[in-house]
A and B are shown apart, each in its own frame.
Chain A
């Protein structure tokens, strides 16, 4: 599909929660600068899959290779992956006891070992990029949902990641705030970031995605370009799913 250099390779990834099998062999490749949108019904394993990519969940069989580093129990690899891969959560997960700026500079200071001034300058730049530099000294609780999610994106960007994972970033937002977050994500995609986005925003998928993966029962049922996917789906389950949400 893509002839770019592969950034994320997953091969037959399997994962169980107790006796429930959440992933039943996921095999795919994401190239550098690709924007991949993952869709599927809830409980289909799409979130579990992207959480495996930065090892928030540990896959039990198969392999995942990110930028040439395989995800194993190796401490060094895990540290490296976590630095390369940023993640944005559905429920923002900002740290409520720190200001917006402190949220952003925390990881650069403690993980990248930057000095405070350096990381604060960088943080202010990122806040400008997501459009809320005036909120730097506020606490997350004082911001709207859309602003919080933009802070969360800036927080991930502060680590200078090569890959960004989005786990349903707009599901917890009021409708009028979704656009401001999607705009930031579009800008990010255009800047050439490798992104995997789990979302129900089909408009975003159509407009921005290079590729769409459809997940069901813990595996990829169908994948292809947005045009192919929305106009000419092959699989019955895909058709059923699209007819239900469109």
Chain B
């Protein structure tokens, strides 16, 4: 049927195009060329920076992490840290503390305002609307300054206020009663972790009975009851958890005595195995009954990268950490890296699980010990918040709540229309519709934008520097003002925030995926 090809059409038969016209080659030349350019640019900038720093007499180094600093921080678990690393750790915990509590508060407030915005009650919805429009249209920095000014305008702590009280709101800060953790808290938390496992098991067990027998088993109430039991029982019996102290000791001994080469081999093997799995899966997916499908250049690129990553992983784990850079940085003995940090962790845990008795948490009221001063900002007498903390916390919470309210409103509106009518047709009450139908679905819609608001909140805590709140940026600035290591401090900032972002978005993505699964 098909005529043989005529000479003129066969003239170019399988002529290989020269490389400067080959689309695939050009595509890769462009990419590799740009990558080279990019790496080169980085190299130029970094080497320029290093030589410039040497020129100024402050060569780049990590020494400040281990050396004493002699700075005082505004607040934190240690206000006069002994080393740069400790100071940064204080900054990080302060930042995480304000982020975590801010996220909780902003979510609650934002949800209330978002629902209020949709209320059929005119005044309620107008007040919510005013709140949203007001807070989201003013720069957060202005708001934080304003709250600071407001707190500082409160009355001074006068001398006759000495002693304990329920509540102080003064220019020195705000103090409230607090449950202060005691020595037994580690054992208590361990007990509660056991309780969480037990709760999970009970819940599954009741659900299984429900599915098998078709009877109402009150799975949720059972689970709640189990956890409550642990919560109460743990208060009294948590010292039994001290048994685990022995286990931690043994583990610490084991990890301390396994030669480091074992860890290296295990991790190297893991890297090689991961790369192997990826390549194998990739090829398996392209295997057809008729044989291996033809691979495109992108496929080859992916396989090459996977292989290279695996190889470099193996090389890194086998060659690198014997003399770990981390341990060099810390100026500590090589033992830190030798056991991958597992030994100190278990040592630490072992010291905390020591059969200590007494209540894990203790209630206390704020006190003014020295005239015109609170006992301490993180002491066992209630809890006192510095004006800086209050300004930043109130600022980010109220600001983020306005955005969360808009997200919640949009989420509810998106579900509202059809679902509401359908649910009403089934005969559910308004409150039931909201609780059973609208909110669960709205939650799924709002989760991704909510996650990005949480990230924004975490990043916005860095404005604390404006009111001298001792979070990581402020601490970092203090350090480089003293030691001149701007580059090192900047690298730490980047690494810390990137890690926080990764973890936060990881959590949000995890829940998001779980929600999507429920949908199916």
Interface residues of A in 1-52 (CB under 8 A from B): 1, 5-6, 9, 11, 14, 16, 18-21, 27-29
Beta-carbon nearest neighbor of A223 in chain B: B1
Closest CB-CB distance, A221 to chain B, in whole Å?
13
Whether the Cβ atoms of A74 and B22 lie closer than 8 Å is: yes
Interface residues of A in 89-135 (CB under 8 A from B): none
Beta-carbon nearest neighbor of A67 in chain B: B9
B294 within 8 A of A: yes
5 A-B Cβ contacts within 8 A? Answer: A11-B5, A16-B293, A58-B296, A60-B296, A70-B14
Contacts A27-B2, A70-B13 known; A76 to B294 CB distance under 8 Å?
A: no
- Alpha-carbon separation in the docked complex, A27 to B2 (Å): 8
- Alpha-carbon separation in the docked complex, A148 to B464 (Å): 58
Q: Please tell me which one of the listed residues B3, B16, B23 contacts residue A75 in the complex, with CB atoms under 8 A apart.
A: B23
- Alpha-carbon separation in the docked complex, A73 to B29 (Å): 14
- Alpha-carbon separation in the docked complex, A164 to B329 (Å): 68
- Alpha-carbon separation in the docked complex, A68 to B5 (Å): 10
Whether the Cβ atoms of A65 and B15 lie closer than 8 Å is: no
B120 within 8 A of A: no
Beta-carbon nearest neighbor of A28 in chain B: B2
A206 within 8 A of B: no
Interface residues of B in 483-501 (CB under 8 A from A): none
Closest CB-CB distance, B299 to chain A, in whole Å?
9
Apart from A65-B9, A73-B17, what are 18 other A-B pairs with CB-CB below 8 Å? A5-B6, A9-B9, A11-B5, A16-B288, A19-B287, A20-B288, A21-B290, A21-B293, A27-B2, A60-B294, A63-B13, A63-B14, A65-B5, A65-B12, A70-B13, A72-B15, A73-B22, A77-B12
Whether the Cβ atoms of A70 and B5 lie closer than 8 Å is: no
Whether the Cβ atoms of B15 and A9 lie closer than 8 Å is: no
A69 within 8 A of B: yes
- Alpha-carbon separation in the docked complex, A93 to B336 (Å): 62
Whether the Cβ atoms of A70 and B23 lie closer than 8 Å is: no
Q: Interface 1/0s, chain B 1-38, versus A by CB < 8 A?
A: 11101101111111111000111111000000000000
- Alpha-carbon separation in the docked complex, A70 to B13 (Å): 7
B286 within 8 A of A: yes
For B2, the chain A residues whose CB sits under 8 A away are 27-29
- Alpha-carbon separation in the docked complex, A223 to B1 (Å): 9
Whether the Cβ atoms of A19 and B14 lie closer than 8 Å is: no
A61 within 8 A of B: yes
- Alpha-carbon separation in the docked complex, A16 to B24 (Å): 18
Whether the Cβ atoms of A75 and B21 lie closer than 8 Å is: yes
Q: Closest 10 CB pairs between A and B?
A: A74-B17, A60-B294, A16-B293, A75-B21, A73-B23, A73-B22, A65-B9, A70-B12, A19-B288, A74-B21
Beta-carbon nearest neighbor of B24 in chain A: A73
A78 within 8 A of B: yes
- Alpha-carbon separation in the docked complex, A180 to B6 (Å): 38
For B22, the chain A residues whose CB sits under 8 A away are 73-75
B160 within 8 A of A: no
Q: Please tell me which one of the listed residues B11, B16, B26, B294 contacts residue A16 in the complex, with CB atoms under 8 A apart.
A: B294
Closest CB-CB distance, B47 to chain A, in whole Å?
37
Q: Please tell me which one of the listed residues B8, B14, B23 contacts residue A78 in the complex, with CB atoms under 8 A apart.
A: B23
Whether the Cβ atoms of B5 and A6 lie closer than 8 Å is: yes
For A72, the chain B residues whose CB sits under 8 A away are 14-17
B285 within 8 A of A: yes
For A63, the chain B residues whose CB sits under 8 A away are 13-14
Whether the Cβ atoms of A76 and B21 lie closer than 8 Å is: yes
Closest CB-CB distance, A114 to chain B, in whole Å?
24
Beta-carbon nearest neighbor of B17 in chain A: A74
Contacts A9-B5, A16-B293 known; A77 to B17 CB distance under 8 Å?
A: yes
For B285, the chain A residues whose CB sits under 8 A away are 18-19
Contacts A19-B285, A74-B17 known; A6 to B6 CB distance under 8 Å?
A: yes
Closest CB-CB distance, B18 to chain A, in whole Å?
8
For A61, the chain B residues whose CB sits under 8 A away are 294
Whether the Cβ atoms of B23 and A69 lie closer than 8 Å is: no
Closest CB-CB distance, B481 to chain A, in whole Å?
53
For A73, the chain B residues whose CB sits under 8 A away are 17, 22-25
Closest CB-CB distance, A134 to chain B, in whole Å?
41
For A77, the chain B residues whose CB sits under 8 A away are 12, 17
- Alpha-carbon separation in the docked complex, A16 to B287 (Å): 11
- Alpha-carbon separation in the docked complex, A20 to B294 (Å): 11
- Alpha-carbon separation in the docked complex, A76 to B24 (Å): 13
Whether the Cβ atoms of B286 and A29 lie closer than 8 Å is: no
Whether the Cβ atoms of A75 and B26 lie closer than 8 Å is: yes
Beta-carbon nearest neighbor of B290 in chain A: A21
For A14, the chain B residues whose CB sits under 8 A away are 294
Contacts A1-B1, A27-B2, A77-B17 known; A18 to B293 CB distance under 8 Å?
A: yes
Beta-carbon nearest neighbor of A55 in chain B: B23
Whether the Cβ atoms of A29 and B23 lie closer than 8 Å is: no
Closest CB-CB distance, A244 to chain B, in whole Å?
25
For B16, the chain A residues whose CB sits under 8 A away are 72
For A16, the chain B residues whose CB sits under 8 A away are 286, 288, 293-294
Closest CB-CB distance, A171 to chain B, in whole Å?
29
Whether the Cβ atoms of A6 and B3 lie closer than 8 Å is: yes
Max chain B C-beta neighbours (<10 A), residue from A11, A20, A29: A29
Closest CB-CB distance, A138 to chain B, in whole Å?
35
Whether the Cβ atoms of A68 and B9 lie closer than 8 Å is: yes
- Alpha-carbon separation in the docked complex, A74 to B11 (Å): 15
Closest CB-CB distance, A210 to chain B, in whole Å?
14
- Alpha-carbon separation in the docked complex, A94 to B11 (Å): 37
For A75, the chain B residues whose CB sits under 8 A away are 17, 21-23, 26
For B10, the chain A residues whose CB sits under 8 A away are 65
Closest CB-CB distance, A206 to chain B, in whole Å?
21
- Alpha-carbon separation in the docked complex, A72 to B2 (Å): 22
Closest CB-CB distance, B352 to chain A, in whole Å?
53
Whether the Cβ atoms of A68 and B1 lie closer than 8 Å is: no
- Alpha-carbon separation in the docked complex, A5 to B7 (Å): 11
Closest CB-CB distance, B27 to chain A, in whole Å?
9
- Alpha-carbon separation in the docked complex, A14 to B288 (Å): 14
- Alpha-carbon separation in the docked complex, A18 to B285 (Å): 8
- Alpha-carbon separation in the docked complex, A73 to B21 (Å): 8
Closest CB-CB distance, B31 to chain A, in whole Å?
16
Closest CB-CB distance, B34 to chain A, in whole Å?
19
Whether the Cβ atoms of A76 and B12 lie closer than 8 Å is: no
- Alpha-carbon separation in the docked complex, A70 to B2 (Å): 18
- Alpha-carbon separation in the docked complex, A223 to B2 (Å): 11
